[in-house]
């Protein structure tokens, strides 16, 4: 056995030692996939004599790329820097920087982030007189993103929807949006991959150059690839097909971003003769946690069969607690963490709060502030999205690429130069008529009628930018940036404004200067374009330093790829997780994606997993009553401890919690003391994998009919065309109709009028 592969288990060794031909590694959560991939790269170099220059490894995040790079360096040493390790987007930027001029762009293109794209779309909609009340800007951008992920440019999209009147406005917006980007010599994130594929197809010699270089290709997180990424990888693999993809279909959770789970499920069909290796031994979680995860994901049909196992035995169960309200849920979690930390049983940075949507963070924030617990919200305001940072970056983008109209217009009057909206409009019209950039029009401002004295200010602005362009060549990025801040008076304007957050904004600018300096130290030959590229491709997860002592709060989507000693999975209710949108979509695959999301959430926990739900929570200003999530009900009771008896009462009113039960940590064992009666039978039925008893006791008004009421009474089982089956818990006679309260099995509590509800008695 090679020393490089020493210590791997049998399946890991099988995958790492595979050399030629397509390879699919199905890597379950916590199965050591990064270790396997890096060992395989080292094996190819050290044992098989493959030149590092001929190996490409693609990841999805900068953090993952950094970890892979460090491990490859550790195993290989000298020469390992030749391995191409980068994200999809970074890889495409590197390729486009060298060759995009062959398809009509300038190599100094700008990368537009999400906020930039929104700004462009707002301008596009205004120009085309598209009413945002009829179709939202976000809807158009989402449709454009989906089109680009499917490799449909604006002309292709127009052709595909030529007869679709409902898409007419989107077609117009897409054409104008892309034309605006083109004039600004800018690409959005989706363009980076789409244009690389276009480049390869339009310039076969460029593709052949990269095929010759990349003899061995490895793609991580393959389950998250979209059509454009799949086509890119397929093109690079060519006829050699020495491609290794690593992923887990059970962790495919980015359909809303265009991810296509069929890329991994159909890999063997696309790459004939592919070797398939399953990594099922988990090195992260305890067996109880894995049992819960396995039980939930087994209910999905569209997956490759696998079952995670570990040698990490533990007698700590997975806890489930059901609270009366979301407020109580948040308070209890905060108190639990505070108590554990005070006793030295847990560090703050070992704890994570996971939820389905960002909106759920508010109550936890309030509870943590009251308990004086430090926390960090992954997915909050990104550092690079703050106004002062966006302003400075717009200056740097203008220095780097004056064709970027969006950046130039952002800073034309920042700090204030008495250049108003009317002037900007006149300059824009002049630029459009002559098909030149906004910046070029500023240089010619004295030719524009009606500007008066403002023309001189525009010319001065343009000369200032051109001066900084020379400074960056002689002084470097950081020195030029400091000079820019000093001469423009940007920081002074913040000070003069004397606002409450002035000091914080100045500190943010200082941090940006630190970031520029660090870039120059790490990249002695680095350029302003290179720095802006790096900034554009940073994600919020990359900034989440888990070494800092604070509790982490995030959506499950943001938690992908992370792990924590103690995980609190909150808000596990029907309509929340899974979401109402998924429940009501009518597409079974939407629920399957939600179930994969639950699987990802469960497998983030290493030692302790505490799941909770709330009987009530506020949504859109109203109190909602939701049933416990189906995903909790899919976990066999022997793997759980806590308030499970409440699950049995989902179809009718709840009793109060047992006396003395105050905190999240006082777990109540499932089923003990309930050997007889309805709840005892429910437990036995679950153990025997049978349905619970059909008889539902009446816990409210009794079964008498109200005069003139429908044919059902309180306690009856009914069926609704949308919400399914449930139990009538209350009926109230109104002046014209009966108000009926029903606790539905899946949709939770709903209050409706009998005439409209059309409930059918079962």
Catalytic site positions: 33-34, 220-221, 251, 604
C-alpha–C-alpha distance, residues 457 and 329, integer Å: 58
| 8 Å CB contact between 276 and 568 | no
Q: Is the peptide bond before 48 cis (omega within 30 degrees of 0)?
A: no
Q: Could you give the 3-state DSSP secondary structure of residue 760?
A: strand
Residue whose entry in the numeric block shows the structure tokens 């305001």: 381
C-alpha–C-alpha distance, residues 573 and 131, integer Å: 37
Using CB atoms within 10 Å of the CB of residue 546, give its burial: 0 to 12 exposed, 13 to 18 middle, 19+ buried: middle
Q: Could you give the 3-state DSSP secondary structure of residue 303?
A: coil
C-alpha–C-alpha distance, residues 679 and 652, integer Å: 13
C-alpha–C-alpha distance, residues 449 and 430, integer Å: 9
Q: Where is 262: in which H helix or E strand? A: helix 262-265
User: If you count them, how many residues does the chain have?
Assistant: 762
- Which one, of 86, 30, 27, 31, lies nearest residue 56 by Cα? 86
Q: Six-digit token pair at 349? A: 């940075």
Q: Six-digit token pair at 323? A: 């609270």
Residues 6 or more apart whose Cβ sits within 8 Å of residue 746 = 574, 583, 627, 630, 723, 724
C-alpha–C-alpha distance, residues 399 and 688, integer Å: 71
Q: Which residues pair with 236 in a beta bridge?
A: none
Residues 6 or more apart whose Cβ sits within 8 Å of residue 395 = 407, 411, 468, 484, 488
- Which one, of 161, 158, 157, 135, lies nearest residue 146 by Cα? 157
C-alpha–C-alpha distance, residues 593 and 12, integer Å: 27
Phi, then psi, of 641 in degrees rounded to 5: -145, 150
| 8 Å CB contact between 664 and 332 | yes
- Which one, of 54, 20, 21, 15, lies nearest residue 36 by Cα? 15
Task: Classify strands 748-753 and 738-744 as parallel, antiparallel or unpaired.
Answer: antiparallel
Phi, then psi, of 524 in degrees rounded to 5: -55, -30
Residue whose entry in the numeric block shows the structure tokens 């437990």: 683
| 8 Å CB contact between 480 and 392 | no
List strand residue ranges (DSSP E) for 93-248, in order: 110-112, 186-188, 216-219, 243-247
- Which one, of 194, 102, 107, lies nearest residue 146 by Cα? 194
């Amino acid at each position: 056995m090679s020393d490089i592969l020493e210590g791997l288990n049998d399946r890991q060794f099988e995958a790492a030692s595979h050399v030629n031909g397509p390879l699919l590694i199905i890597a379950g959560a916590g199965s050591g996939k990064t270790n396997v991939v890096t060992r395989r790269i080292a094996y190819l170099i050290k044992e098989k004599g493959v030149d590092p220059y001929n190996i490409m490894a693609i990841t999805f995040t900068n953090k993952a790329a950094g970890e892979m790079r460090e491990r490859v360096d550790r195993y290989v040493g000298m020469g390992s820097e030749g391995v191409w390790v980068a994200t999809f987007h970074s890889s495409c930027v590197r390729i486009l920087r060298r060759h995009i001029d062959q398809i009509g762009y300038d190599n100094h293109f700008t990368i537009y982030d999400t906020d930039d794209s929104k700004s462009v779309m707002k301008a596009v909609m205004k120009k085309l007189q598209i009413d945002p009340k009829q179709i939202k800007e976000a809807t158009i951008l989402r449709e454009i993103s989906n089109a680009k992920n499917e490799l449909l440019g604006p002309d292709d999209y127009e052709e595909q929807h030529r007869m679709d009147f409902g898409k007419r406005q989107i077609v117009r917006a897409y054409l104008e949006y892309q034309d605006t980007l083109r004039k600004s010599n800018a690409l959005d994130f989706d363009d980076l991959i789409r244009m690389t594929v276009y480049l390869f197809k339009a310039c076969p010699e460029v593709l052949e150059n990269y095929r010759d270089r990349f003899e061995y290709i490895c793609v991580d997180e393959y389950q998250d690839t979209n059509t454009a990424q799949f086509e890119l990888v397929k093109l690079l693999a060519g006829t050699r097909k020495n491609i290794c993809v690593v992923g887990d279909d059970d962790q495919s959770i980015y359909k809303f971003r265009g991810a296509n789970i069929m890329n991994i499920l159909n890999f063997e069909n696309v790459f004939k003769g592919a070797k398939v290796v399953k990594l099922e031994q988990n090195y992260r979680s305890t067996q109880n946690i894995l049992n819960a995860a396995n039980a939930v994901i087994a209910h999905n049909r569209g997956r490759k069969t696998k079952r995670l196992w570990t040698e990490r035995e533990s007698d700590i169960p997975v806890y489930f607690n059901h609270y009366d309200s979301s407020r109580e849920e948040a308070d209890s979690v905060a108190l639990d963490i505070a108590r554990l930390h005070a006793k030295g049983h847990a560090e703050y940075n070992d704890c994570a709060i996971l939820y389905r949507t960002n909106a759920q963070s508010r109550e936890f924030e309030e509870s943590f502030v009251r308990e004086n617990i430090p926390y960090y919200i992954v997915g909050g305001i990104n550092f690079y999205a703050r106004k002062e940072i966006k302003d400075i970056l717009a200056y740097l983008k203008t220095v780097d690429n004056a064709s970027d109209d969006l950046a130039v217009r952002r800073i034309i009057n920042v700090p204030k130069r008495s250049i108003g909206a009317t002037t900007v409009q006149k300059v824009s019209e002049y630029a459009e008529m002559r098909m030149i950039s906004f910046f070029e029009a500023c240089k010619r401002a004295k030719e524009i009628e009606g500007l008066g004295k403002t023309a001189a200010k525009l010319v001065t602005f343009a000369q200032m930018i051109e001066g900084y362009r020379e400074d960056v060549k002689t002084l470097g990025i950081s020195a030029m940036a400091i000079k820019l801040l000093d001469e423009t008076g940007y920081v002074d304007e913040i000070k003069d404004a004397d606002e409450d957050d002035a000091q914080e904004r100045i500190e943010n600018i200082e941090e940006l200067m630190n970031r520029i300096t660090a870039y120059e130290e790490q990249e002695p030959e680095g350029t302003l374009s290179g720095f802006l590229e790096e900034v554009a491709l940073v994600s919020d997860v990359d900034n989440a330093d888990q070494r800092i002592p604070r509790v982490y709060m995030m959506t499950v989507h943001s938690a992908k790829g992370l792990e924590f000693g103690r995980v609190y999975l909150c808000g596990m209710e029907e309509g929340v997780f899974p979401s109402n949108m998924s429940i009501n979509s009518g597409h079974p695959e939407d629920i399957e994606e939600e179930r994969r999301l639950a699987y990802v959430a469960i497998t983030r926990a290493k030692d302790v997993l505490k799941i909770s739900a709330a009987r009530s929570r506020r949504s859109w200003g109203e109190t909602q009553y939701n049933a416990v999530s189906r995903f909790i009900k899919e976990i066999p009771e022997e793997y759980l401890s806590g308030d499970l008896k409440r699950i049995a009462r989902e179809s009718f009113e709840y009793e109060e919690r047992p006396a003395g039960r105050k905190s999240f940590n006082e777990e109540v064992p499932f089923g003990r003391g309930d050997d007889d009666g309805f709840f005892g039978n429910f437990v036995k039925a679950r153990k025997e994998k049978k349905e619970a008893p059909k008889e539902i006791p009446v816990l409210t008004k009794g079964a008498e009919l109200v005069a003139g009421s429908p044919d059902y009474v309180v306690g009856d089982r009914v069926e609704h065309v949308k919400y399914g089956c449930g139990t009538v818990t209350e009926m109230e006679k109104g002046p014209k109709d009966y108000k009926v309260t029903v606790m539905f099995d899946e949709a939770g509590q709903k209050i409706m009028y009998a005439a409209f509800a059309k409930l059918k008695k079962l």
